[in-house]
Structure 1
């Protein structure tokens, strides 16, 4: 775990080294102060040597100021190192997630990834800061103060030397008991974040169905679950501070008792007792700080394991074995005995023995019942998933022969769930081609039947869409997504039920624009409405993960019972 996270410190190695270095200077100065205080009492005050008191007191003040300066500088360095460390981990996690395939993303919930990028990183970041400050300061202070205390009176040192093993045993026991409880607590964080995320994304649906009370109860359950898990974890940790304080006060009382008797009988000077108590206090305070570090390490260990889990997730779709410089020459597609299942341990395939040839420039319609694996089929083309059996060819080559970027640059896909980002319409459209000119943008929008409604806005293409495109309707959002895909100038265009919110007249205009201006693009249209695919070169009928029939609209009306039933039911709806 440490080995996996260590590289993220590299950029801030200088601050990571300077923080403990300045801490060591602070401790070495601070350790000397109680000795000077003892000398003031035993030599200056007892002999009424005011000049010695003033001189030694001045040295103490200077040393205290130097110690303060070193502590301040160390705090600065440790902050830079820890914040930088956290920033690098977040960047590393985000970069790793960007490389995930759909199957990798499916393994982690969105809420869990958000928690790992925020809460878990903050926990590890805090532990790192405590590690390079307190975990360096405390041991040096313990050794130094113990040596100085032994120098003053070796017999009294035995008192807290007995206490240290007791405290170590208690901390070890607490750590073993709390680690699994903190893991459970972080899983509850995931559940609560999932509830919040789902509610905020679907807030319009929640209000439309008047389900606010249901969502409040769902959040309450998640929130109460987190609270209960946190209490269980903290309940054991609460023993830490009382045990530490009990040991600390017991040591001080014992030292005052035995040390006071030594002062009375002349075996120890008053200043020495004061200095000894100061050292013992320093030692016990450092033990308390070490216990805090230990507690934070327990929490961060659970968080670090979750971070490493994301970083070490094996990406199943990579450029391994791809041919350098290989370009997609055309939009031809071939499925050779392709079968697919999302989980390789599953017993049944989602797609079963698909054999299909699509010529470059063809328009292919795909129709079928919900759950017939229409979307799954087309997601294999840009390698959003890899075929479990068989192979998929694009441009005459296996999709695994291409670099992922090269393959996906040749394929534009408008998914069922249309996603727009915060920003202007033009900024969203340029996702398709960041170097697109205004003329190219307008041309793509006209083909997608989006130009007219865009120009109806006061700011036209500079209209701010808001988060997720809240300022446009479902049909408008679909047309913008189609225009964005067209701007990519792909060899293959996949429209996955992407005109479902568009009226039939606009749908027909979009298809007409494709026929006239995009003849060189292989177009695959997945739709529920037969009118959206009826003028395709060929139509594929899917049924339970298999190709049931292939043909033109007229051919399928005679040869495919499924297609004919769908057509007749839709025609009946139109007639009614």
Structure 2
């Protein structure tokens, strides 16, 4: 936890927070002494002037204590909240540059929990550290010394009380700390089930699995609730027992102090001050116990955040990154590509070899699970090849700075993703300087002008995830967004699947005729033969192996796997639409 805070917290803020807290503690310790003097020398002797003098001193010290307290609270809050802000920022930045392997290791639901709940735990501990953790030991030592000064004989009460409190706090920590640690993992699981239910709500309804998913969520919810109930029940017991101990201490002080006062061995004011110091000592122990209970939970959260921030990327950056030429000779090469997912026994891709240059279209076709999307993910370097190489414009993607590499690629993923805001902002996502004319041109190629004009044009509001558009409309808008970005390689990962055959054909024709696209390489992943038939080269994948490459007519004549795909779609009437 200290490592996390070290570079994210101002040393001066911490120093002044400690200074203000020290001032607050000393003023708090001085007030009972003033009360003692006021009773002993003012009230007991009927000296009104002394009462006024002591009262004004007490008022001044109280005001000073409030100022010190305000300064400490302000700096503690600013420091802890600033720490949380920087942690969230660092985690988010780390997530943005994670490889897909790293995402798979942590999981989306766990990342959300770590960015929210875990960061809050660290913020709470930071706040407690700058408040209770500083106040408690200083108050404990100072109050003990002042109490001893007032009456050494009465301090023997603490010899009995303090060991009882230490044992009690130890027992509470023994049972509560493991439960606090377990809460983070159970929060992860609860978020996972809840998130799956939200994202898959349509599937759940379609398969009438409402009761099953409700039971699944209920189990995760009850598991979390049982754990929370146990830990907070233990913590709830702590406060009345501590109150009982403090009340018992007060009774012991009054009982013994009363005898001392009766024997004129102790002044009344001293006993009042001693009782205040006793409460300060016991409250210090109570604060320390709270700190010791919450620190392990904060440490568990810190370890989880460390795990994210210290994840070593499987994508090793180039020591001396190369840069693309200002006017590169556009090309895309797969050079005997072999790829295996992290921890997998079997290869996901093997023997992929292809070369295309500007103005050409490379299509990839194959059955479900054949490795089409895996191959596409190697182009923007979401994964690294095991052997072989992927080259863009003659440079190995591993030798190029990742941001520059991805600036040369316009990708349309399988699942069209739109962001909340205006349609204009969504289309400009890859090219903020694009003019409205360029946006409309991209929409025209993507066969989207009709439904966009029927709405509010480029000012059309896009809901979260693009939920106010149909699946086909979202795909076309995602395609338009990619076209607005001027790139060397345009990658369409099964991006025409929601389009009817006529729209699909018109869109591909518009792509071929566009001047800027003719200067780039186009890569299309498709399930339908009609989508890939007019490509310059078609890669045929089967269970991760490249079993053929060529034009539609060549593969249809010579490749059995491709011929089987064609024949299966002819039987379904798919080829008739070409």
**TM range, normalised to the smaller chain?**
over 0.9
> Aligned residue for 1:8?
8
Which whole-Å deviations, capped at 9, do the CAs of 1:333-373 have from their partners, x for residues lacking one?
Answer: 22233221221x32211112333333343211111110011
Instruction: Tell me what 1:100 maps to.
Output: 98
Distance in 2 (CA, whole Å) between partners of 1:479 and 1:220 is: 39
3-state SS, counterpart of residue 390 of structure 1? strand
Once the two structures are TM-superposed, the CA of residue 315 in structure 1 deviates from its matched residue by 2.0
TM-score, with length taken from structure 2: 0.94
Does the 8 Å contact 2:4/2:302 carry over to 1? no
- Cα distance, 1:152 vs. partner? 0.8
| Equivalent residue number for residue 536 of structure 2 | 537
**Count of matched residue positions in the alignment of Structure 1 and Structure 2:** 572
- Partner Cα distance (1:389, 1:496) in 2: 23
Contact 2:20 2:68 in 1 (8 A): yes
1:255 corresponds in structure 2 to 253
Greater Cα shift, 410-419 or 285-294: 285-294
1:414 to 412, 415, 428: 412
Report 1:312-331 matches (<5 A).
312-327=310-325, 329-331=328-330
Q: CA offset at residue 378 of structure 1? A: 1.4
Flag the 1:408–1:72 CA change in 2: closer, same or farther, 3 A: same
* Partner Cα separation in structure 1 for residue 568 and residue 345 of structure 2: 35
Q: CA deviation at 1:282?
A: 1.2
Note the 1:216-235 alignment, pairs <5 A: 216-235=214-233
Aligned residue for 2:465, secondary structure, equals coil
1:469 aligns to 2:466 (yes or no): yes
Shift of 1:9: 0.9
Q: 1:478 aligns with which of 457, 468, 475?
A: 475
Cα distance in 1 between the residues matched to 2:495 and 2:105 = 26
- Contact in 1 for aligned 2:366/2:542 (Cα 8 Å): yes
Contact 1:378–1:494 (Cα < 8 Å) also in 2: yes
User: Using the alignment, how far apart are the partners of 2:230 and 2:44 within structure 1?
Assistant: 56
Measure, in 2, the Cα distance between the counterparts of 1:192 and 1:48: 67
Q: After superposition, where does 1:359-398 map in structure 2 within 5 Å?
A: 359-398=357-396
**In 2: Cα distance, 1:359 partner to 1:471 partner:** 38
Q: Distance in 2 between matches of 1:162 and 1:487?
A: 78
- Give the stretch that moved more between structures: 241-250 or 361-370: 241-250
Cα offset for 1:223?
1.2
1:570 maps to what in 2?
A: 569
Range that drifts further, 177-186 or 108-117: 177-186
> Any conservation in 2 of the 1:332–1:361 contact (CA below 8 Å)?
no
Contact 1:367-1:540 within 8 A present in 2 as well:
yes
Higher mean displacement: 13-22 or 130-139: 13-22
For residue 417 of structure 2, give the secondary structure of its aligned residue in structure 1: coil
What secondary structure sits across from 1:8 in the alignment? coil
What is the CA-CA distance between 1:316 and the residue it aligns to?
Answer: 2.2
CA distance, structure 2, for counterparts of residue 526 and residue 324 of structure 1? 29
Select the residue among 435, 446, 458 that pairs with 2:444: 446
Cα offset, 1:320, TM superposition: 3.3
The alignment partner of 1:384 has SS state of coil
CA RMSD of aligned residues (A): 2.1
Cα distance in structure 2, aligned partners of 1:212 and 1:460: 39
Q: TM-score, normalised by structure 1?
A: 0.94
Provide the secondary structure at the position in 2 that maps to 1:260: helix
Q: Is the 8 A contact 1:327 1:406 kept in 2?
A: no
Structure 2 CA distance for aligned equivalents of residues 271 and 239 of structure 1:
34
Contact 2:334 2:352 in 1 (8 A): yes
Checking the alignment, whether the CA contact within 8 Å between 2:329 and 2:393 is kept in structure 1 is yes
Asked whether the equivalents of residues 101 and 317 of structure 1 are also in contact (C-alpha less than 8 Å), the reply is: yes
Report the secondary structure of 2:492's partner residue: strand
- Deviation of 1:45 (Å): 2.3
Q: Where do 5+ consecutive residues of structure 1 fail to align?
A: none
Change (3 A) 1:85 1:537: same
CA distance in 2, matches of 1:41, 1:510: 93
Matched, 1:510 2:514: no
Give yes or no for contact 1:240–1:291 (8 Å, CA) kept in 2: no
Q: Is the 8 A contact 2:113 2:191 kept in 1?
A: yes
Instruction: Kindly provide the CA deviation profile for residues 207-240 of structure 1, in whole angstroms up to 9, marking residues without a partner as x.
Output: 4555444433332222112112223433544454
Cα distance in 2 for residues equivalent to 1:61 and 1:397: 76
Match of 1:122 among 110, 120, 123: 120
Contact 1:178/1:298 (8 A) holds in 2: no
CA distance in structure 2 between the aligned counterparts of 1:392 and 1:287, rounded to whole angstroms: 64
Are the counterparts in 2 of residues 432 and 486 from structure 1 also a CA contact under 8 Å?
A: no
Per mean C-alpha deviation after superposition, the further-off stretch among 78-87 and 495-504 is 78-87
C-alpha deviations, 1:180-206, integer Å up to 9, x for none?
Answer: 332321111112222232333334444
Residue 435 of structure 1 is matched in structure 2 by 433
Give the Å deviation of 1:271.
1.7
Structure 2: give runs of 5+ residues left out of the alignment.
none
